[in-house]
Amino acid sequence: MAGKSFFIDTSRCTACRGCQIADKAWWNLKGTKTYQRGNHQNPEDLSFNTWKVVRFSEVEVNGKPNWYFFTDQCRHCLEPPCMYTAISLGSKAITRCEETGAVLYDPKIKVKQEDFKKIRESCPWDIPRWDEKTQIMAKCNMCINRIREGLLPACVKACPTGAMNFGDRERMLDMAKKKLNELKAVYPKAQLLNADSVRTIFLVIDDPQKYWKYAAENGLGITMVAAIKRLVRPLMKLPSFVG
Ligand code: SF4
Ligand code: SF4
């Protein structure tokens, strides 16, 4: 089953942070104390209570200062390294919804600090977060309770510019490829990030490193997944998603 996907067109993002706030509001996540750090981005990073953050990057384009915005969140990998690592550690804290493909962290299953460290290190996009007090992990869950009711994820619903899109994977891939072709004519470096291996498909108009150091995956993570899968396959029957 192809499942669902996000398509995030960063060229349309104005950094209004509506998506970031909508996610906090829907999941009733605690506020984060923020500081002026010489950058408009707040909070500074993802956390146990911040599952989506709009990253601000000041860049020079054609000799002029510019901003690139990157609405960072879980990529909901087709073959999630975090899930395979958890399984290899004997934990059932991470599962994948067979219908949508959403990668889900169980809010009731505790994970030891040393195990969490391995799970976080296995994520090529540095997404998983953990609460020291409760020993619970957290990240974007695709607003699974909304999409099972036929609603859009809160972040997509809140986006006023069309940067955030969500739907059946084939439709999102078509939309992403069409938009990429349009932008390529103006921005030769425009590209989709890891579209074949993730369900959160970003479109950027420049080198992904200029947006965020973990914006794109370099292929090593996928190699590691293959290795871990070989280890855990005999232990569990694992469904596989196509495209
Ligand atoms: S982006 Fe990271 S946390 Fe999200 S599914 Fe992939 S490996 Fe797991
Ligand atoms: S709501 Fe849309 S325009 Fe606003 S920050 Fe998020 S992706 Fe960008």
Residue 185, domain member (yes or no): no
Q: 130 C-alpha to center of ligand 1: Å?
A: 14
Query: Phi-psi region for residue 17, left (φ > 0), alpha (ψ -120 to 50) or beta?
Result: left
Q: Among 73-77, 135-139, 224-228, 234-238, where is mean pLDDT lowest?
A: 234-238
* Residue listed under structure tokens 């490193």: 209
Is residue 117, in this structure, part of any structural domain at all? Answer: yes
User: Is 85 within 8 Å of 118 (Cβ atoms)?
Assistant: yes
Q: Which atom of ligand 1 is nearest to the CA of 122?
A: 7
- Give residue 156 CA to ligand 2 midpoint distance, Å: 8
Band of residue 162 on the pLDDT scale cut at 50, 70, 90? very high
The overall average pLDDT reported for the chain is 92
List pLDDT tens digits, range 69-120.
999 999 999 999 999 999 999 999 999 999 999 999 999 999 999 999 999 9
Residue type (1 letter), 160:
P
Is 96 a domain residue? yes
The CA 103 to ligand 2 mean position distance, Å, reads 22
Ligand 2 centroid, distance to 1 Cα (angstroms): 29
The residue nearest atom 8 of ligand 1, judged by CA position, is: 82
242 confidence band (pLDDT: 50, 70, 90): very low
Q: Residue 200 falls within a domain, yes or no?
A: no
> Do the domain assignments include residue 119?
yes
The pLDDT of residue 49 is 98
14 CA: nearest ligand 2 atom: 3
Ligand sitting nearest the alpha carbon of 51: 1
Q: How confident is the model at residue 243 (pLDDT cuts 50, 70, 90)?
A: very low
Domain count, the chain: 1
Average pLDDT over residues 179-204: 97
> Helices 113-122 & 220-232, crossing angle to 10 degrees?
130
Question: Which ligand is nearest to the Cα of residue 56, counting in written order?
Answer: 2
CA nearest ligand 1 atom 7, residue: 123
- H-assigned helices in the chain: 18-27, 81-88, 113-122, 144-147, 154-158, 169-184, 220-232
Domain assignment of residue 90, given as a range: 81-140+220-232
Question: Is residue 98 in a domain?
Answer: yes
pLDDT mean over 113-139: 98
**Tens of pLDDT along 1-43?**
599 999 999 999 999 999 999 999 999 999 999 888 888 899 9
**227 lies in a domain?**
yes
* pLDDT given at position 73: 98
Higher-confidence position of 33 and 180: 180
| In the chain, % of residues over pLDDT 70 | 89
pLDDT in tens, 139-157: 999 999 999 999 999 999 9
- Residues having CB closer than 6 A to ligand 2 are 13-19, 54, 71, 158-159, 161, 163-164
Separation of alpha carbons 141 and 18, rounded Å: 18
Share of the chain above pLDDT 90, in %: 84
Identify whether 108 is part of a domain. Answer: yes
Q: What is the CATH number of the domain that holds 109?
A: 3.30.70.20
Distance 34 CA to ligand 1 centre (A): 26
pLDDT at 238 over 80: no
Cβ-contact 232, 91 below 8 angstroms: no
